[in-house]
Structure 1
Amino acid sequence: MSREIFHYICHHLKPALEKLDTNYRVSVPLQKRVVIALWKLATNSEYRSVSHLFGVGISTACDCVKDFCSSVENILLPEVITIPQAEKLKELSLNFEKRWGLPQCVGAIDGSHIPILAPQEYHTEYFNRKGWYSIVLQAVVDAKGLFWNVFAGLPGSLHDARVLRLSALWELAERRNLFAQQYRNINGQDTGLYILGDAAYPLTSWLMKPFPDNGFLTAQQQVYNHKTSKARVVVENAFGRLKRRWRCLLKRNDCNLERVKSMVLTCCVLHNLCETHGKEYREEWCVPGPFPQPDVTPQAPVADTEGAGDHVALM
């Protein structure tokens, strides 16, 4: 992270994070509180190691991370990750068309699993199809891999389509409040703005998905599937860069669910700040590090028949 981004964060979070000295002890300086939180998010070191490295107590290190994430979520998130307005939508559309030849496309949507320890309550709901416990991060990115909508915290067992329907994005889109009324005539058809999703998502007027490959696709349908598949890679790449830059998202997190959700949203904000300020992304970060995704498949919990029915229906 550059000094410019660091000072930007400190300046905006100063009212929420800065503490006053008391008669009993000197407060931890603002910049040190921010550094402690950033170090934890970027390395996923244990709190004991973080406290030793920065010369603070374990509880102080925990408080620094908690307060930092809460402040970013409340102050920076509404500023850095927002639903684009008319002029911005036009810019996003031009970027997608220039890069992948897809007119009227303004984003790509997908979900990613964030590892957690099994919660004490309703733990079966968080057991995902990959064989470990997680919450889901749903995100929409632009052609440059920047998040313009994020939604996190739902159990990992939920299907992507179900997560979408439970998000504010679905409500906005269904009420026709998501995109400005910008239509373009394409081959005699008035086409509005839309985002791209994979086969898991429902087909709507504002969300395009690939044709199901039944072995009888026309040449035009195959070209469409190929182009949209290439464009959707941008959201997968964004998740990869997010997790490798902020490695707290790669290892099982032992915090409570609300804290994990706050950390996920904070990392999304930090991702946008680093990407928009041209911060270098090193390709060696792509090499699996010391915090791999969970690779141990525990015994699957007893399936919830009601939830399983919902899942099959969505498929």
Structure 2
Amino acid sequence: MSEETYVYLCNKLRPAMERQDTAFRECIPLKKRVAIALWKLATGSEHRSIGHLFGVSNTTVCRCVQDFCAAAETLLVPELIRSPDREKFAEMADYTENRWGLPQCVGAIDGSHLPILAPQEYHCDYFNRKGWHSIILQGVVDGKGHFWNVFAGIPGSLHDARVLRLSSLWELASRGNYFPPCTRNIGGVNAGYYILGDNAYPLQNWLIKTFPDNGQLAAEHVIYNKKICRARVVVENAFGRLKGRWRCLMKRNDCDVKLVKSMVVTCCALHNLCESHGEAYDDEWDAPAVAEPGVAVAQGAEEEGTEIREGLMRYLNS
């Protein structure tokens, strides 16, 4: 993170994080408190080693992280991760169409398991299909890889489709109250804005996915799937860059589940901050790719979602 972005961050969080000296002791300066929290999020190091590095106690490190995440959720997240307005939706759709040729597409959705220590309560709920305890981060990104909707903290045993149905995105989009009423004729079908998902998600008129590969797909279906996958990789890259910068998300987090959730949302906001400020990213930071076991889930597709997908297929193959 450049000094310019760091100073911007400090000034943004100053109202909630700055402390005053007392008659008994001097307070830790704001910039140092922010630096301690950033170091924890960027490295995932233990409180003891961070305290030794900055010359403070373990308790101080813990308080700095808690205060930083609480301040970020209040002052940073609402500004950096927010539902797009009508103009922003149109801008995102134009960018995606210009880059991948997909009209009306405003982003992609995916989920990621983040390792945690087994909680004392309901620890079985957090035991995922991969064999370890985790919480799930569901994120929706635009064509530039910026998060515009996040939902974090759900126990790792739940399936991605179930996580989606528990989120406010599902509730609002299903009622037609999330995406603005802006339709366009695509392959003979009037389609509104939509996002891309993998086969774990249910097909909707606002969530499009590939055709299941049963080994007997027609040529036009194969072409359609390739183009959808090529565009959907933006969300996978965003998760990779998120974890590459904020490596506390890659190793087992020893904090309380409630704090871990706050740290995850804060890291998503910091990701958007770094990306929008053009901060350099080294490909060596990328998290190692781990093959996830396939998940076969029976899902029903709405008629309208099927029509839009087939209309989009005709458009892409025309």
Decide: shared fold, TM above 0.5: yes
Q: State the alpha-carbon separation in 2 of the partners of residues 46 and 268 from structure 1.
A: 21
Q: Measure how far apart 1:10 and its partner are.
A: 1.0
- Rounded Cα–Cα distance in structure 1 between residues aligned with 2:113 and 2:7: 31
Q: Compute the displacement of 1:253 (Å).
A: 0.6
Q: Deviations over 1:181-222 (max 9, x none)?
A: 111112222111100000000011100011112233222221
- In 2, the alpha carbon distance for the partners of 1:314 and 1:134 equals 24
Secondary structure of 1:204's counterpart equals: coil
Alpha-carbon separation, structure 2, partners of 1:280 and 1:82: 24
1:273, CA displacement in angstroms? 0.4
- Is the aligned partner of 1:90 residue 2:65? no
- What whole-Å deviation, never above 9, does each CA across 1:13-61 have from its counterpart, x for those lacking one? 1110011111211111111100000011111111111111111111011
Quote the residue 2:206 is aligned against: 206
Identical aligned residues as a percent:
65
TM-score by length of 1: 0.90
1:108 aligns with 2:108: yes
CA distance in 2, matches of 1:250, 1:240: 10
> What CA distance in whole angstroms lies between the structure 2 residues aligned with 1:287 and 1:92?
27
> Is the partner of 1:102 in helix, strand or coil?
coil
The question of 1:41 aligning with 2:41 is answered yes
Question: Which residue of structure 2 lines up, in the alignment, with residue 216 of structure 1?
Answer: 216
Q: Distance in 1 between matches of 2:299 and 2:72?
A: 34
Output the TM-score relative to the length of structure 2: 0.90
Partner residue, 2:6: 6
What secondary structure is seen at the aligned counterpart in 2 of 1:153?
strand
Alpha-carbon deviations, 1:250-302, whole Å to 9, x = none?
A: 110111100000000010000000001110001121275xxx99xxxxxxxxx
| Per-residue CA distance 1:126-161 (angstroms, 9 max, x = gap) | 111111110000000011111010010000010000
The one-letter code sitting in structure 2 at the alignment partner of 1:88 is K
Give the ranges of 4+ consecutive aligned residues of structure 1 lying more than 6 Å apart after TM superposition: 311-315
The 8 Å contact of residues 139 and 151 in structure 2, kept in 1 or not, is answered as yes
- Distance (Å, rounded) in 1 between the aligned partners of 2:255 and 2:247: 15
The range that moved more, 241-250 or 94-103, is 94-103
**Distance in 2 (alpha carbons) for counterparts of 1:120 and 1:287:** 29
In structure 2, the gaps of 5 or more residues are 291-295, 301-318
Q: How far has the Cα of 1:101 moved from its partner? A: 1.1
Q: Shift of the alpha carbon at 1:232?
A: 1.0
Find the counterpart in structure 2 of residue 307 from structure 1.
Answer: none
Q: CA deviation at 1:241?
A: 0.5
Distance 1:287 1:46 in 2: 20
